[in-house]
Structure 1
Amino acid sequence: MKKFLTGCLLLLPASLQAQEKFPTGIEHVIIIGVDGMSPDGIKQAQTPVMHRLIAHGAVKWNVRTVLPSSSSPNWASMIMGAGPEQHGITDNDWQRDKHSLPPVVANDEGIFPTIFGVLHQQFPQANIGAVYHWDDFGRLFEKKAVNHDRHFSTEDSTATDFIQYIRAEQPFFAFVHFDHVDHAGHEYGHGSPLYYQAVAKTDSLIGRIMESIPRNTLVIITADHGGKGKSHGGATPEEAEIAMIFSGKDVKPGYIITQPVYTYDLAATIAFALHARPPYAWIGRPVMSAFEGFAAPQN
């Protein structure tokens, strides 16, 4: 019996390894983050680019945010693969040296591990970058992990730099953040004509980006929260549900994702697409059903 159990233990890791399966052929991942863009905004505004990507890719219309449904907790959760209870970023006032709840684990920069740091650690030669319209996005990821780190004051300059970066470097992983839709929501109100106009502007910027991406790229378009009236942060579907669009290499065409998806699943999905090992502290799970060859969870 002892000899049999020893044999089983020796065989188990190889068996588990044989069962591992990943998307094949994804060489780059690009995340397009749009602050405050609601599912209603995508559906009601003039968004031909996003609708074309949805028709040829996969979409989840009601991804659940973490609470509060505000920017810092949700952008952090998306790149950190966990919620505020784990990473400790509970509001927009959070700073690395000023916060009430420490992360359950911290890396050498004192923050919870992000997808930027995970990829840099496992693929040290990979080119990784972030270009962001909202300056505070830059405090959420490991500075040592990126080759390209830029902040711009307008959505147009943000898009221009990001496109130039993609064309020049063809990065392994890159993240662009736009903030003008959230500004429109706060100033004019979610669902207002000028809010929809801001979403339409985003659609045109996404179109420019899509013209520049290299082959074998997975693109994910996401928001951090929606909105209600001129605000957000509360626990309502309008504020706490967003859309997530998957496009490109290995994505199922015309697929509607039905399984529950949470903002913190984004980091796990990026790791899954690029064959990276997620940290034990992450709670997010990859949205496998968006990819060819993977079925929706049975339960």
Structure 2
Amino acid sequence: MTDMFAKVSCVLAAAFMLSAFVPQPDDKPKGIEHVIVIGVDGLSPDGIKKAETPNIDKMVANGAVKWNVRTVLTSASSQNWASMIMGAGPEQHGIIDNDWELNKHTLPPIAQEADGRFPTIFSILHKARPQAEIGTVYHWGGFGRLFQKNAVNYDKHFSTEDSTATDFIQYIKKKKPVLGFVHFDHVDHAGHHDGHGTKVYYESVTKADSLIGKILAAVNDAGIAEKTLVILWADHGGIGKGHGGATPQEAEIAGVFYGAGVKKGYAIQQQVYTYDLAATIAFALGVEQPYAWTGRPVKPVFKGLDEPRNLWLGEKP
């Protein structure tokens, strides 16, 4: 009996030691030291598919994509940009429309930092890693009111998409940020002025693609391409000359993941929501997200990680 007990103990001990060296599903993705987020206001999946977009096509072919990421409602800018960086929806962060201001709103956040804002990916990364370089460059001034100013090292607003891209490119090359976030607004302008699905709108998407190509080149020139996760995101799509409604054309966007640690040519199966962006960035950089966030990391985009075991895609009639 003693010999049998000893053998069982040895087997269990060996199994425990072996499991300790087997990567666990919740491990941080390997090799990611930088995250660059390219946000394009008003960029619809239709725009990507129908316009000339060689750089985005390259990202999709060599990365992972979800063509129907669901936005929050209403499908307008402030609440969706906020949800992207805050890891939760309007019900949690309280930004319900474009009239929101820090000192003028009706719904307080369910949890807030000292400045009154809901925690963002910028603030939680800054608290976890105070020395990390974090920067934002944005075309739409309204984006700047959504995040904690003391959480970023670099905070710039420019009036054109070209000046925005130029400055962000210089920032990448000079500072090699742990997290860099750029916002472009000209595609949304084209949607409002000429209409979604028009020649002018598709031309604006092609212009965005050219700027994305320059940003990807900057990441390479900075010598950090092999350690950088690049994410392309949008706040909403549109119908005609507007957006804000609850239709797929307005409330679905494309999410593209490219670069370090990402599977190539992968179509994401799990449901993805716009507030999952912040959760995925936190996961990629190994930072614990606040309990107040409702977003979940899009783990299957990363090598070695699978779709959720309980994934349910619905039933066919």
| TM-score computed with the length of structure 1 as normaliser | 0.94
CA RMSD of aligned residues (A): 1.3
Report % sequence identity. Answer: 66
Structure 1 residue 172: Cα displacement:
0.4
Task: Provide the rounded CA distance (Å) in 2 between the counterparts of 1:292 and 1:64.
Answer: 24
Please give the alpha-carbon distance, in whole angstroms, between the structure 1 residues aligned to 2:204 and 2:97.
Answer: 25
> Equivalent of 1:46, from 44, 48, 52?
52
Deviations 1:105-131 (A, max 9, x none): 100110000000000000000000000
Displacement, 1:147? 0.6
> Between Structure 1 and Structure 2, how many residues are aligned?
285
Find the residue that maps to 1:286 and give its secondary structure. coil
Give the one of 120, 123, 126 matched to 2:132: 126
Q: What is the one-letter code of the residue matched to 1:291? A: F
What displacement does 1:22 show?
A: 1.4
1:289 paired with 2:295, answer no
- Name 1:160's counterpart in structure 2: 166
Distance 2:39 2:250 in 1: 16
> Cα distance, 1:103 vs. partner?
0.2
- 1:34-93 CA-to-partner distances (Å, cap 9, x unmatched) read 000000000000001100110000000000000000000000000000000000000000
Distance in 2 between the 1:22 and 1:100 partners? 38
In the alignment, structure 1 segments of 5+ residues that lack a partner are 1-14
How many angstroms apart in 2 are the aligned matches of 1:75 and 1:142? Answer: 14
Aligned residue number for residue 176 of structure 2: 170
The reply on whether 1:191 has 2:197 as its aligned counterpart is yes
Give deviations 1:208-257, integer Å, cap 9, x for gaps: 00001123100000000000000000000000000000000000000000
Of 202, 214, 218, the residue aligned with 1:212 is: 218
Give the gaps of 5 or more residues in structure 2.
1-19, 312-317
Task: Give the match's secondary structure for 2:218.
Answer: coil
TM-score (norm 2): 0.88
Max radius of gyration: which structure?
2
Q: Find runs of 4+ consecutive structure 1 residues off by over 4 angstroms.
A: none
Q: 1:224 aligns with which of 221, 226, 235?
A: 235
1:181-215 CA distance string (max 9 Å, x none) = 00000000000000000000000000000001123
**Counterpart Cα distance in 1 of 2:198 and 2:141:** 26
Alignment of 1:273 onto 2:284? yes
Alignment-derived partner of residue 25 in structure 1: 31
